[in-house]
Amino acid sequence: MSQVRVRFAPSPTGPLHIGGVRTALYNYLFARKNNGIFILRIEDTDRTRFVEGAEEYIMESLRWCGIVVDEGIAEGGKFAPYRQSDRKEIYEQYADQLFDRGFAYYAFDTPEELDALRLEAEKEGKTFLYNAAVRKKLRNSLSMSDVEWNAMLDRGEHYVIRFRMPEDEEIHCDDLIRGHIVVNSDTLDDKVLFKSDGMPTYHLAHLVDDHLMEISHVIRGEEWLPSLPLHVLLYRAFGWEAPQFAHLPLLLKPDGKGKLSKRDGDRMGFPVFPLYWPYGETAKGYREDGYYPEAFINMIALLGWNPGTEQEIFSIDELVNAFSLDRVGKSGARFDPEKAKWFNHQYLQKRTDQQLAFEFREILRAKGFHMDIVRLEMLVGLIKERTSFVREMWDQADFFFRAPETFDQEAVRKKWKADTAGKLEEFKSILGGAAELTPAALELITREWIESKGYNMGEIMNPLRLVIVGSLRGPHMFDIISWIGKEESLNRISRGITFLENPR
Ligand code: GLU
């Protein structure tokens, strides 16, 4: 096989949806797996849909995900430029070529005229198609005399160049994921290729660029599958060898009913974009929500592709190794926000306590707590299992930093007995006399005391937790006591007794 060259070709029309990130990722994995080249091409020929900031957002998203671009706007490359608006001059000659060979024609129908035709068809329950069946009755270079339509061009009237779809032809297409597809040309219309503003449409521009950039495989979203027959015909019209195609399955809503949209995310509280989008109608991002890029990428990779084994956790290198297009499914992949969190949980557990301590320290700083990193390492080691995000750590650890101000009433009712205060006073002297403050040493002396008195564990440990934590949550009691220290623990026990013995 000649060199594998793939491209991710987003249009800068807003923030990049996670479906787009997945397309980029699969292209990237495929390129790496096959020692190929991954290209980022910005498709901005539709100026009406252009959104300021979107191009930077796309590049920043790929960078955050660790998807490394080989050729692109920032990286350069032998087929530069990689932004279609910078390639504007290239496309017209190709539209002309198609016209000269009879594969395309000029059309002058106004948007109003076309709207009227669409409406008419709708009334009869049909969809209007601009194709062989009607084109002779419309205003174009096939229906008018040369003198007539040339005069219109000379007058500067608006025109488009349309592809001349053949009549009643079976078009054969091959897709690496969907197999062989046959479509009758009568079900397709004469798509616009070029407009009088000097801009090509997507169909012409992407195809010319894919050819010029020597793209070997076109891996893109399923929404482009209906256009595949047109693209196959265009390659044939140009006399170019077509690349191989792979159309990726849709990303579906969590309930599996329809395409995943920003609204689903807003409604259910999860992001559908990799990064925060700061313009106009703002949107949440995975990065700002506290996801690790490795976890995000791992989660995305499994939306539509499966390794054929039970393995779920993959580093990017492992993904490269395992990836192949024949394990990409045909049916839509349901997005599961809980699973996304699960992935982050897994990656959080894989981080060292030191890494986590540095991350958590930022949050503590913002709250006004300044902490020794070694002490913090011990702390995150105690609570990380209960968290999926560093931002959740404070809720699991607040009582390490401050004595409780309230006590869980329900727990007090159940666990605080008439003789509890007396027993906790006894415990104070046990703790006060402790020579060693490791959790194991504390546990040992506490057990010995409890056994010698014939108490049971629960009647001591539950109220102890109540006065130290404020409720019955948190990691192992002796880990907490050991961390906050003897003096703070004794203070909390005294405070708790006073408070709970004198209910106001
Ligand atoms: N610009 C198109 C898009 O954003 C690219 C489709 C393709 O990859 O051919 O969907």
Which pLDDT tens digit goes with each residue over 278-333?
999 999 999 999 999 999 999 999 999 999 999 999 999 999 999 999 999 999 99
| Residues noted as catalytic | 262
Average pLDDT over residues 231-255: 98
Q: Where are the alpha helices (DSSP H) in 372-419?
A: 373-383, 393-401, 409-415
Residue nearest to atom 5 of ligand 1 (CA): 9
- pLDDT at residue 504, rounded to an integer: 60
Residue to mutate (ligand 1; options 6, 7, 11, 22; most atoms within 8 A of CB): 11
For 424, residues 6+ apart whose C-beta sits below 8 A from its C-beta are: 460, 463, 464, 467, 493, 496, 497
Ligand 1 atom nearest the C-alpha of 10 is 4
For 12, residues 6+ apart whose C-beta sits below 8 A from its C-beta are: 42, 44, 50, 51, 54, 55, 57, 58
Ligand 1 atom nearest the C-alpha of 219 is 8
Residue to mutate (ligand 1; options 202, 211, 223, 230; most atoms within 8 A of CB): 202
Average pLDDT over residues 144-171: 97
* Mean pLDDT, the chain, integer: 97
Residue type, 343: F
- Mind listing the pLDDT tens digit for each residue in 418-457? 999 999 999 999 999 999 999 999 999 999 999 999 999 9
Distance between Cα 11 and ligand 1 center (Å): 7
Give the strand pairing for 160-163 and 104-107.
antiparallel
- Mind listing the pLDDT tens digit for each residue in 38-57? 999 999 999 899 999 999 99
- pLDDT at residue 196, rounded to an integer: 86
Model confidence band, residue 194 (pLDDT cutoffs 50, 70, 90) = very high
Look up residue 27 and give its two tokens. Answer: 């292209």
How distant, in Å, are the alpha carbons of 365, 394, 397 from that of 361? 6, 10, 12
> Would you say the C-alpha torsion 428, 434, 438, 440 has a positive or negative sign?
negative
Model confidence band, residue 502 (pLDDT cutoffs 50, 70, 90) = confident
For 333, residues 6+ apart whose C-beta sits below 8 A from its C-beta are: 249, 250, 251, 252, 303, 304
pLDDT at residue 130 above 90?
yes
- Pocket around ligand 1 at a 6 A CB cut-off: 9-11, 43, 202, 206, 220, 224
Average pLDDT over residues 361-380: 96
Distance between Cα 130 and ligand 1 center (Å): 23
- pLDDT at residue 47, rounded to an integer: 87
> Would you say the C-alpha torsion 204, 205, 207, 211 has a positive or negative sign?
positive
- Structure-model confidence comparison of residues 504 and 90, the more confident one: 90
Average pLDDT over residues 403-415: 96
Average pLDDT over residues 13-41: 98
Q: Give the end-to-end CA distance of the chain in Å, rounded to a whole number.
A: 82
Question: DSSP secondary structure string, 66-98?
Answer: T---SBBTTTB-TT---BGGGGHHHHHHHHHHH
Q: Where are the alpha helices (DSSP H) in 247-352?
A: 262-268, 293-301, 316-322, 337-350
- How many percent of the chain have pLDDT more than 90? 98
Q: What is the rounded CA–CA span in Å between residue 285 and residue 276?
A: 4
Look up residue 160 and give its two tokens. Answer: 């488009």
Average pLDDT over residues 340-344: 98
Q: Give exposure, 332-356, as e/b (b: 16+ Cβ within 10 Å).
A: bbbbeeeebbebbbbbbeebebeeb
Average pLDDT over residues 108-127: 95
Query: Under a CB-based contact definition with an 8 Å cutoff, are residues 175 and 247 in contact?
Result: yes
Query: Under a CB-based contact definition with an 8 Å cutoff, are residues 464 and 432 in contact?
Result: no
Average pLDDT over residues 330-354: 97
Distance between Cα 49 and ligand 1 center (Å): 13
Distance between Cα 304 and ligand 1 center (Å): 18
Q: What is the pTM of this model?
A: 0.94
3-state SS assignment for residue 5 = strand
Radius of gyration for the alpha carbons in the chain, expressed in angstroms and rounded: 33
- pLDDT at residue 283, rounded to an integer: 96
Ligand 1 atom nearest the C-alpha of 8 is 8
- pLDDT at residue 2, rounded to an integer: 85
Distance between Cα 20 and ligand 1 center (Å): 9
Residue nearest to atom 3 of ligand 1 (CA): 10
pLDDT at residue 21 above 70?
yes
How distant, in Å, are the alpha carbons of 108, 139, 143, 154, 162 from that of 148? 11, 10, 10, 10, 18
- pLDDT at residue 10, rounded to an integer: 98
Model confidence band, residue 1 (pLDDT cutoffs 50, 70, 90) = low
